[in-house]
Structure 1
Amino acid sequence: MDSPARLRMNRTALFPVGLLAVCTVPLAFAAAWTPILLLIPLMVALWVLRAGVDIADEGLTVRSTFGQRQVPWRDVAGIRVAPRGDLWLVTTSGTEIRLPVMRARDLPRLAALSGGRIEVPAPPAQ
């Protein structure tokens, strides 16, 4: 892999954020303290643009709104799927890191981009 694969939220999610900003403007000028409400759509837009997972030959980089955490492949023990479908990266030290904007339906794509380092479990037999 030459450059890391970047898994992010679809940019169309910025459309409702723009609507939120438009709806917030009248309220933001209602009193002297309310312009701080304009930070809400700004923070949501920042999250949409920044949060995600980068997959490279060296490992995974999990990005949140204000930080990031790099996990080399040798420290990856597996993936845990939460009851609501959220994905959690399990490390060899036993810690878990939530993979933002990724759900159980994204497991095949994550497995393909990992180069075989992450496997998709077979569905249970019925």
Structure 2
Amino acid sequence: MSAPARIRMSRTALLPVGLLVICMLPLATVSAWTLLLLLVPAAIATWVVRVGVDVGDDGVIVRSAFGRRLVPWARVAGIRVAPRGELRLVTTARTEVRLPVLRARDLPRLAAVSGGRIDVPVPPA
């Protein structure tokens, strides 16, 4: 059994979060209550680091900031591209699971890490 392929947001997205912390420090140090303002960049950083998709032998694991959902390969019916280019995993129960951080341009990469379980449609000629 191989390790799952992890698809995450680029860590360079943490640079603006660091800049936000630097900009908020003068205001956050005014009193003990304003220190709570630093929870905002902490929540954003948690989201950037945590959110993503893991593709492995068991199926597709969709990770959110505070949870995860496993969709086994037996329940995967296909992939749908939403109007704004977002990818959604369609299950055999006809429900859809949003794949965070993945767009239509990421379909070839997703197909490659799925081991052939997900096909990339060829555009008509």
Report the TM-score range of the alignment, normalised by the length of the smaller protein. over 0.9
Once the two structures are superposed, what CA deviation does each residue of 1:59-117 show, in whole Å capped at 9, x if it has no partner?
A: 01000000000010000011111111111111111111111111111000001111111
TM-score, normalization by structure 2: 0.93
2:87 is matched with 87
2:2 is matched with 2
1:39 is matched with 39
2:50 is matched with 50
Cα distance in 2 for partners of 1:123, 1:20 equals 42
Cα distance in 2 for partners of 1:12, 1:32 equals 30
Q: Residue 33 of structure 1: CA displacement?
A: 3.5
1:64 is matched with 64
Q: Secondary structure at the match of 1:60?
A: strand
Q: Which runs of 5+ in 1 are unaligned?
A: none
Q: Residue 30 of structure 1: CA displacement?
A: 4.1
4+ residue runs of structure 1 moved beyond 3 angstroms?
29-33
Cα distance in 1 for partners of 2:27, 2:57 equals 48
TM-score, normalization by structure 1: 0.92
Q: Which runs of 5+ in 2 are unaligned?
A: none
Report the number of matched residues: 125
1:14 is matched with 14
2:108 is matched with 108
Q: Residue 32 of structure 1: CA displacement?
A: 5.3
Cα distance in 1 for partners of 2:33, 2:113 equals 47
Cα distance in 2 for partners of 1:77, 1:27 equals 50
Cα distance in 2 for partners of 1:3, 1:96 equals 25
- The sequence identity of aligned pairs, in percent, is 68
Cα distance in 2 for partners of 1:22, 1:31 equals 17
Q: Secondary structure at the match of 1:94?
A: coil
